[in-house]
Amino acid sequence: METNVWDVRKYVHNLQSYPQIDEIIAGYHQNKLIALPTETVYGLGANAKDEEAVKEIYVAKGRPSDNPLIVHIHDKSQLNDFTQNISQETEILMDAFWPGPISFIVPYKSGFLSDRVTGGLQSVAVRMPSHHVGRAVLQLTDLPIAAPSANISGRPSPTKFEHVKHDLDGRIYGIIQAEDIDEGIESTVIDCTSYPFKIARPGSITIEMINKVLPNSVINEKLDLEKPIAPGMKYKHYAPSQPVTLIEGGITKQMSLSDNTSKKIAVIGPKSIEPLISEQMTFIPLGRDIADIKGAHHDLYDALRIADQLTNIDEIYISGYERNDDTIALMNRIDKASGHNIKGEDEL
Ligand code: TXA
Ligand code: MG
């Protein structure tokens, strides 16, 4: 399949005047797979009402079909078609954070969407993205769009057009090319099927931000749906092909390789630690310094993809961050990229 590329970079604020906009809209209505930018990562979008389109999403990504999808909307009124009993507390949070990088798991009302979207669950995840282009596409098509991250399953989520093209060229109908993504990690997922709510996936909207809007509405309990069930299980997620080691607490001293190793190493970490990295190693920066969490979110998946493409590298080290409320989402992704393979700086 030849994948169409629609470069809308000059039309970001006025997508309607993009000459081929009708092709894109028609594509979604004909149940084709079209990748679209959102403020978190690129999504692989398709009509969530169509059984075949949703099935194709799983095929194109190589994704296990029991892992449910997020439904993207542009207006809350769309929820009436396929959700029910949304609590007042949920509505308050939707109104506070939408459009934006948070997905809500709410009770599902079957019938309207393909049941493949929910993987047979009684709940459905919904999100209203804020990205100018993503939002305009949702408005113009006026369909509920199922959209997982637009990567091959197991690889880092795509934050640049090139990442989507690399993974899905030839496998999908089209890609909407916009500027690189602002945020860089996937949305916060909050489970609103029982109260107090639980975080199912941490993101840039933190527990603290949510509880500021609605005190005590989220409990600080770790419920991570993507975590491996058995410890030590080989779990590949966001993972380069070389072994990755997380250096807990980060690199704080000059790194030198022991004399008996000829290992080629790449180090991913905040730009500020570059002077600590030996010249024989390849350094890939992640934000400015350890306080630049937003920058680290923005750079992480690109850094993992760059590391993955380096030839002659035997091992990748990622310099960790202090674990606190602000770094939960970042460390969650780094934990997964390292397959929970963690060492202290002195153990290297
Ligand atoms: O930022 C994002 O959320 C991006 C952009 C494209 O919107 N999308 C994204 O989708 O990250 P995906 O499919 O890669 O991740 C969706 C996550 C998965 O961990 C999935 O298991 C969970 O949401 N999820 C979806 N529906 C659910 C449900 N009904 N119950 C529990 N978890 C659900
Ligand atoms: Mg994903």
Q: What is the mean pLDDT of residues 111-122?
A: 95
> Which residues on neighbouring strands pair with residue 174, listed in sequence order?
4, 34
125 C-alpha to ligand 1 centroid (Å):
7
Give DSSP secondary structure letters for 110-156. Answer: TTSS-GGGTTT-SEEEEE----HHHHHHHHHH-S-EE--BSS-TTSP
Q: What is the mean pLDDT of residues 223-245?
A: 57
Query: Nearest ligand to the C-alpha of residue 188?
Result: 1
191 C-alpha to ligand 1 centroid (Å):
11
For the ranges 37-46, 226-235, 271-280, which has the lowest average pLDDT?
226-235
**Residue in 280, 252, 284 with CA at minimum distance from that of residue 271:** 284
Task: Kindly report, residue by residue over 137-188, the tens digit of the pLDDT.
Answer: 999 999 999 999 999 999 999 999 999 999 999 999 999 999 989 999 999 9
> If you take atom 7 of ligand 1, which residue's CA is the nearest one?
43
The pLDDT-based confidence of 234 (bands split at 50, 70, 90) is very low
The pLDDT-based confidence of 270 (bands split at 50, 70, 90) is very high
Evaluate if residue 258 carries a pLDDT over 90.
Answer: no
346 C-alpha to ligand 2 centroid (Å):
33
**What pLDDT, on the 0 to 100 scale, is given for residue 216?**
95
Q: What is the mean pLDDT of residues 91-96?
A: 98
**Residue in 100, 80, 85 with CA at minimum distance from that of residue 39:** 100
Task: Kindly report, residue by residue over 194-213, the tens digit of the pLDDT.
Answer: 999 999 999 999 999 999 99
Pocket of ligand 1 (CB under 6 A): 38, 40-41, 43, 67-70, 103, 105, 118, 121, 123-125, 127, 147-149, 186-187, 189, 200-201, 225-226
Strand (E) or helix (H) holding 106:
strand 102-107
**What pLDDT, on the 0 to 100 scale, is given for residue 231?**
33
Strand (E) or helix (H) holding 198:
strand 198-201
Predicted TM-score (pTM) of this structure: 0.94
- Which atom belonging to ligand 1 lies closest to the Cα atom of 129? 7
> If you take atom 3 of ligand 1, which residue's CA is the nearest one?
187
Cβ atoms of residues 302 and 163 within 8 Å: yes
> Rounded to a whole number, what is the distance in angstroms from the first to the last CA of the chain?
46
Q: Which residues contact 152 (CB under 8 A, 6 or more apart)?
A: 61, 62, 167, 168
The pLDDT-based confidence of 237 (bands split at 50, 70, 90) is low
**What pLDDT, on the 0 to 100 scale, is given for residue 340?**
87
Mean pLDDT estimate for the chain? 93
- Ion ligand 2: protein residues whose beta carbon lies under 5 Å: 149
The pLDDT-based confidence of 222 (bands split at 50, 70, 90) is low
Cβ atoms of residues 272 and 290 within 8 Å: yes
Task: Kindly report, residue by residue over 289-345, the tens digit of the pLDDT.
Answer: 999 999 999 999 999 999 999 988 999 999 999 999 899 999 999 999 998 899 999
103 C-alpha to ligand 1 centroid (Å):
8
The pLDDT-based confidence of 240 (bands split at 50, 70, 90) is confident
**What pLDDT, on the 0 to 100 scale, is given for residue 256?**
75
Which three-class secondary structure string do you get for 2-51?
Answer: CCEEEECHHHCCCHHHCCCHHHHHHHHHCCCCEEECCCCCCEEEEECCCH
Query: What percentage of the chain carries pLDDT values higher than 90?
Result: 84
